[in-house]
Amino acid sequence: MKITRPQFNNVFNRFEIAIAHLVQRYGVRFGACMRKDAQSGFIMSAAVTITAPSVKHILLDSLVVMKIVKHVDSELHAGISEVSGDACAGVLTGLVFLEDSRLEITNCFPTVRNEPVIDDDANAAQQYEEQKQQEMLDMLRKFRTMNIDYEIVGFYQSHQFGAGFSHDLVESMFDYQAMGPENVVLIYDPIKTRQGQLSIRAWRLSTAALDLASKNDWRPELVKSAGLTYQNMFEELPIIIKSSYLNNVLMSELALSKSYSSDKYSTRHFDLGSKKSLEKSVRAMMANVDELNKSIQSLTKYTIDKQRHDNMVFSLTQKRQQENESRLARGDPPLPMDDIKRIKAPQLQTRNGLLDELLASFDTNALADFSKTVTSENITKLFIAEAVAEEKVVGTKDRTLSSVSSTR
């Protein structure tokens, strides 16, 4: 699901909103600097200068965490995500503090889901998109009226196991970072959160990835020259969750209160990770590995064809140069090199170059980390449970022996 920023064309005639700050700050206009590639559909920048981001960490308000968790859990409970096939998503608002290299996310709101256009009219889809943009503008207008931070600083999405980086997500990240280099995306993992560990991670495209995305060229030669791998394609930022002072006092009071105490001998901490989630992550990992194997075969074939093509072009060029030297010695005009330059080079048999391989590798790594974490925790719990069971058996035997000796 692609999350686009509101298109603020002629917005000053309707509503002076966050775009005024963005224009003052970055000197760009929405809509004028973005164009769409007809072949791949990848949104590219025609006039945006990519600058290195200055934000080093993120201060996340607890209200944002609550709203994201509530939004995702409500849609998962209703089964909307499974029916639509899209991830839960929304827009983040906040402020950027360049002096402290800090991005503060203070609020958020969900975006309207894509709905199938039943009408046969060709303008129906465009009208629906305009309606979604208008709803986002209305929400930002309400934020401004209520004196809430209304500057868009990124968006959030929910992906199981933290793995769901697709072309649409990369397009959205590039769209946001082209408008503001400090914008980020928050990836929320509902599976890990249900297991008792809140998982919200902040990502942004690296400078090398932004450069390639602006050119919309992911050829192996350019990816290799840029030194881009799945490990440095995305940059993760540390997140600090900010709570109110009253909330901190309440948590301290609950921790010190004698009346509030969990069951000392509760076994709920020994519950193993969900078998279904672990099986699902392994199956997704296997599917990604299969895709990577196919991509490796295509890349190997492309490398062989490219080497053969380069050797042929080099050989023809050498022969043409020798022939031209002979013709010049005889006083004849040299032959042009145009026919050699027109020899078509081989193409990698993928629609987006190495972008598919990079995303599949990143998702596979995320799935492997999830499986490793869950497996290690389960093994640790099994060993602890075994030790506790053995100690309980030994204690029972000791009490039995003591009771027998006392009766004698």
| Confidence category of residue 237, pLDDT binned at 50, 70, 90 | very high
What are phi and psi for residue 32, nearest 5 degrees? -80, -25
Q: Are residues 321 and 213 in the same domain?
A: no
CATH number at residue 218: 3.40.140.10
- pLDDT on residue 408: 54
What are the backbone angles phi and psi of residue 153, rounded to the nearest 5°? Answer: -120, 10
The C-alpha atoms of residue 273 and residue 248 are separated, in whole angstroms, by 30
Domain of residue 292, residue span: 275-396
Structural domain contains residue 219: yes
Residue 58 inside a domain? The answer is: yes
Residues 67 and 197 in one domain: yes
**Digit-coded pLDDT (tens) for 305-356:** 888 888 888 888 888 888 888 888 888 888 888 888 888 888 777 777 888 8
Looking at the structure, tell me whether residues 117 and 25 fall in a common domain: yes
Q: How confident is the model at residue 115 (pLDDT cuts 50, 70, 90)?
A: low
Query: Model pTM greater than 0.85?
Result: no
Give residue-wise pLDDT tens across range 116-126: 555 555 676 67
Residue 215 lies in a domain: yes
Residue 25 pLDDT exceeds 70: no
What is the structure's pLDDT at 1? Answer: 56
> Domain count of the chain?
2
Distance, first Cα to last Cα, the chain: 77
Q: What is the mean pLDDT of the chain?
A: 77
Pick the range with the lowest mean pLDDT from 87-91, 262-266, 321-325, 386-390.
262-266
Q: Is residue 166 part of a domain?
A: yes
Q: Are strands 239-242 and 200-205 parallel, antiparallel or unpaired?
A: unpaired
